[in-house]
Amino acid sequence: KYLTDPQRRLYKLIWDRFVASQMTPAVFDQTGVEIEATADGRTYGLRASGSVLKVPGWRAVYGATTEPLAGEEPSPEDKTDDDDSLPELNEGEALHLVIPPGAETHHKQTEPPPLFTEATLVKKLEEEGIGRPSTYAEIISKVEQRSYVIKDGNKLIPSPLGTLVIEKLVADNFDLADIGFTRKLEEDLDAVGEARAKRLDVLQPFHERLQAQIAHAVEQKGKWWPEPVEIGEDCPESGDPLVKRWGRNGPFIGCTKYPECRYTLNIGPDGEIEEPKEPELTDYDCHECGAKMTKRWGRNGWFLGCSKYPECKHTRAVPLGYKCPKCKTGDIVPIKPKGRGRPFYGCTNYRSEEPCDFRVWQKPIGIKCPKCGSDFLVAMGGKKNPKLKCANETCDFERPYDPSELLDESESQETPPAAGSAAG
């Protein structure tokens, strides 16, 4: 009697919750009904389920009971949102569809989940424990570069090649296509980095399994691709039929006389056959003959090749668009050493008369250093302490960052031609 109405209701809410937390669970009888519905000559299987409260348990505090009101039968109007009971039914009983007054029916189909964008893909990678903040941008650029997806605006559309690769990897139970396996491997590598596990204990079993699966994949070489399909046209060079084939970069048109005839045509993301294009000339000069370099596509991605090919076979990597922070004259390019050396990013002057030995292992991010003006920063610190650091060894600038910055501010990645054959 000393409490106001709001105070009384708050006190009762707290008291009810406390008492309910000390009581036994509620017990329900659950019933399931299998229903067959026929429409347009087709039979559909439906299922309805219901439950009836048998022992109120803690729900008694809130007024739940197993008994109807004295002398009364509950009517449909008495049912509450918490009442999940089913009406009495007999096996084999015919049911009739009853549409309540004012209700409308709509024909709808199950829709696929929304397509990933780069931002939502990063969020998914974080949720699944795949990759690290410093590798998210590289993961996405590789997926795009290898034509596993087609970028339409900000949406990532699975390509025919990407769909085929995933289907085959999953069908062959390839470990690296399993999210759980990849997540566990990431966790094990973190344990190695934090000295909670030994490197060989983690890598040895992984290496053995990977080697066995690679050997199996080699045995299946050539069996993954669909059979070539004739397109009803003849090769303009040999006169033999042209067929649609599959290669490492997706579907393409080739001659049935391959390898004697190497005529090919690209197939675009929309499935249409593209006319052959001349390689794109660049402003870079060939270091061997002085001719202009052309931008071409090969098994390892884009590269610069001499426009005098096949007379001159000089090639080099495509610059990323950043000047070297050490010598100030060279361009930064991806470098893959011969043998088993670890790939890195270095200066184009690394083989000149006055070689520049600048190199970084992390992928350059197109954000200028606010302190020294260097063209790029690199992502470091792993998942627990992500930070951007200046690549200039004479500059000590660094700051924390959000992984989404790598998508908004990093350099754009060009996708390869949609052909199954290399462009160079």
In 3D, which of 220, 224, 128 has the Cα closest to residue 181? 128
Residue 329: other Cβ atoms inside 10 A: 13
Q: What is the pLDDT of residue 70?
A: 43
- pLDDT tens for each residue of 220-232: 766 667 778 888 8
Helix (H, G, I), strand (E, B), or coil: what is residue 48?
A: strand
| Chain centroid, CA 136 distance in Å | 10
Maximum Cα interatomic distance, the chain, rounded to a whole number of Å: 105
CB neighbours of 380 closer than 8 A, spacing ≥ 6?
A: 134, 362, 386, 387, 388, 389, 398
Query: Which two structure tokens, joined as six digits, stand for 203?
Result: 């890598």
Kindly give the parts of the chain with pLDDT less than 50.
Answer: 69-73, 77, 408-424
Residue 18: other Cβ atoms inside 10 A: 10
pTM across the whole model = 0.42
CA–CA gap between residue 151 and residue 158 (Å, rounded)? 9
Q: What is the four-CA torsion angle of 129, 130, 136, 140, rounded to 10 degrees? A: -140
The ranges assigned to domains in the chain are 1-108, 116-219, 236-274
The sign one gets for the Cα dihedral 404, 410, 414, 416 is negative
Question: Looking at domain 116-219, which of 1.10.10.10, 3.40.50.261, 1.10.3720.10, 1.10.460.10 is its CATH number?
Answer: 1.10.460.10
CA–CA gap between residue 381 and residue 394 (Å, rounded)? 19
Q: What is the pLDDT of residue 112?
A: 83
CA–CA gap between residue 197 and residue 191 (Å, rounded)? 5
Residue 414: other Cβ atoms inside 10 A: 13
CA–CA gap between residue 297 and residue 250 (Å, rounded)? 13
Q: What is the pLDDT of residue 24?
A: 93
Phi, psi torsion values for 84, nearest 5 degrees: -105, 20
In 3D, which of 415, 418, 423, 419 has the Cα closest to residue 298? 423
Rounded to 5°, the CA angle 101-107-109 comes to 140
